[in-house]
Structure 1
Amino acid sequence: MKHLNKILVAAMMVMGLSSQAQDSNNPWAISFGANAVDTKTSAGGGNGWLDRHFSQPFAVKDNWNILPSVSYVSVSKYVGNNLSVGLQGSVNKINKFVKFDPTAPGHDSRGYVVSNPGDLMYYGIDASVKYSFMTLINSKVLDPSLHVGGGYTFLGDSSFGTVNPGAGLTFWITENVGLALETSYKKAFGDREDATRTPDAPSHFQHTAGIIFKFGGKDTDGDGIYDKDDVCPEIAGLKEFNGCPDTDADGITDKEDSCPEVAGPKEFNGCPDTDGDGIADKDDACPEVAGPKALNGCPDADGDGVANKDDKCPNVAGPRDNRGCPWPDTDGDSVLDKDDKCPNVKGTVANSGCPEVTADVIKQLNDYGKTILFDSGKASFKEQTFAVLQSITDILKEFPNSSFMIEGHTDSDGSNVLNQALSENRAAAVRNFLVEKGINTDRLKSTGYGETKPIASNKTAKGKAENRRVEVSLIKE
């Protein structure tokens, strides 16, 4: 039984819970250090209860039993409302047992005798509930407290229960580390089994002094703000913003900042207004140049209600329907008639308002050119060719700003000199026909290549037919 009790107490010392001060951020605390046991209170004598219990509270050398090593361990848990609960395990060796016996040799002037009971080991396991006054006195360093609880004491071969009122004072060196001092009056119940060595179960004072550590607080993002107080627990932030970040340092947290990467004033929800026109850059169609809200922050130099960037005449007022210009755009190709070389034909800005000749158009012209039929050995047209020539004329009229080259080609029959002259004459005949049909003469040129550029074999009738042709190409300026 003796060894079983000791093993039980040792286990409780490791697993025990004590009532040192902590808070909701760090709900757990562990404390360890030295303890002192003073048995004078159970010795009797004195002038009443107060005199017996408190006449020699600091007679350390005479009455205190101190084991020169770590002799108590405790762990505690905060439960809210300044209260914490737990258990404490302690061990000591009693070599100063105080008795009241005025007849015994060696007693002091008050009749107390201090004896050494021999190898008398002390083990304690105590539970308590503690109330901290730290919040009430609004201190971050001093932590006074009161506690009450009960426990069980093993003294030699005997054991007995105790009721333990007490008080404590912790000095917090840092937020989580402190120096803890505590005293408990352990009122004992029951009789000692080995009363021949000591009197009845001794009530006594137990004092502890040790180091306390608070722990258990969770700070997921590592920003020094516990998750329970951190509005942004998974993203590191600043204390002044309750743990939320302010990436651009403009005084507005990222979660409330419409532009978290770029600093801006509060009136724009953290977004900048580079041009100072009262419109945040993110909503400003012209963020670098000041402009009115009606035009999304873009300027209107001529005051015609059309923003400069959309105004074809930014310095001359004009109606909105005409893109801010006083001049019309008859063909609606975004080139004003005054600048449009083809005001009645829709074209491109790059081609001064005229339509651009595409590869498909050239192909169509050359497909027609291959079907032009001339009288044999002459530059005169066969009757069925006039419809083809009219189709070519109609296409060229669609591109009044473009110039074309008419090329004549022959097969290899006949001499080179005759073929060269024939190709030039036939190309000129096509050009003359187009001019007569209204195509400006300055837009057309003609030339002949004779038999020098065949596109098929001249050894077959079919090949020769393909080589007798007229081609049209665009003259690029």
Structure 2
Amino acid sequence: MKHLSRFLLASLCILSFGAMQAQNENNPWAVGLGINAVDFYPTGEDAPLGEYFDEFFNTGDHWNVLPGISRLSVARNIGAGFYFEAAGSVNQLTKFGDDRWDDLTYYALDGTFNYSFRGEDGWFDPVLGAGAGYTWVDDNGHATFDGTGGINFWFSDFFALTVQTMYKHAFDDDYNSHWQHAAGIKFAMGGKDTDGDGVYDKDDECPEEPGLAEFNGCPDSDGDGIEDRNDECPMEAGTAEFNGCPDTDGDGISDNKDECPTVAGLAEMNGCPDADGDGIKDSDDECPNEAGPAENNGCPWEDKDNDGVLDKDDECPEVAGTVENNGCPEPTVEVIEELNEYSRTILFDLNKSSIRSESEETLQSIADIMKEYPQTIFHIEGHTDSTGSESYNEKLSRERAASVRQFLIGAGIPESRMTSEGYGESQPIASNNTAKGRQENRRVEISLDKERQMKEPAEGQEQDTTDTDGE
């Protein structure tokens, strides 16, 4: 074994190279230890050797085996199933086919690129590879082309049993090609640490988030001793009692479930207080210091004008009105009748929508009455007799109603409180067969716009009030 020192030196170089690279890159490495056997027989060379694969497993007659550890390898993962393996081996040659030699020292360095068929987390790992090497027999050395195949049996992520065979084709005619078989164990080491937290991805339960070793690589952003994935409030330090959330007001309800996190409250109020004890939390109680029913938003009932509309909803709290008109008074039937007594006297220019000047005083009286009911929306209707075409009558009636509305806007009535429409000859109140009937049908009427106010007529008020105008 006079050349064993050379093998040990070469192996040390291989290990040093692997360790150096592992310190700089987060890539898996594997170190293998085992024995090797060298066989010159089944290589198809000249006699006394056999044909390829002839007596391939004749271990007793053809295999040269050195007892003890005789092969050392280092492998580095490249990615996508590929890895590079460097191996150093030593042997003692006494068999050359059927011939016998004196002890010759054999040692070799080989490098192969291999592909693993293992798949993700598989235990059965077939491997194929190719590369080159250099072999020495005593002091004579030669280069080889190497083809290899083998199987790794992984018992864990770190440990495997391995068997391998390699054909080494000699480039120099003075040297013989041969087979080298190996068996041993392989240890995986190194690893990838994507988030750089010092916990390898294979052990890191949060491999893309920097974390702490005590939490298997997962973070605890707020430092409360509860890892973020189990912390309902990962950015606010809390207690285990509240799954990592704080309870700022100390009412026993964690802030993330407390609708009033800075004011102590009651569990039944989701952490909010109820100062008057009326069952309505203060934030929703319009009278937080006076007990009142929920239907009154926590305020006690109060109706100063006794019109059935609470003061808080009463738009005219000092004057009795109707519920339908939000507590404000509504025009009675008599008032509507008075309006229509005025409206039937409104005169228009012949076949036009322009109002005659002598009707302006009448319209001002209508405006004065409307101002007494600031919450009421009035509807102005235009009507005609059946003289002329239906489309003409509808257009004329609409324009006359609009003229009345426009005059009243100018007299101070908000335009939002009036609507107008023309109905032409469609709603006669008398016969169109007589002059008197046709005159009655030519009219302007004023009523309440109940649809706009979204309510029913006030008690005692007629559904429709109509009157006539003169032309």
TM-score of the two chains, using structure 1 as the length reference: 0.49
**Larger CA Rg, structure 1 vs 2:** 1
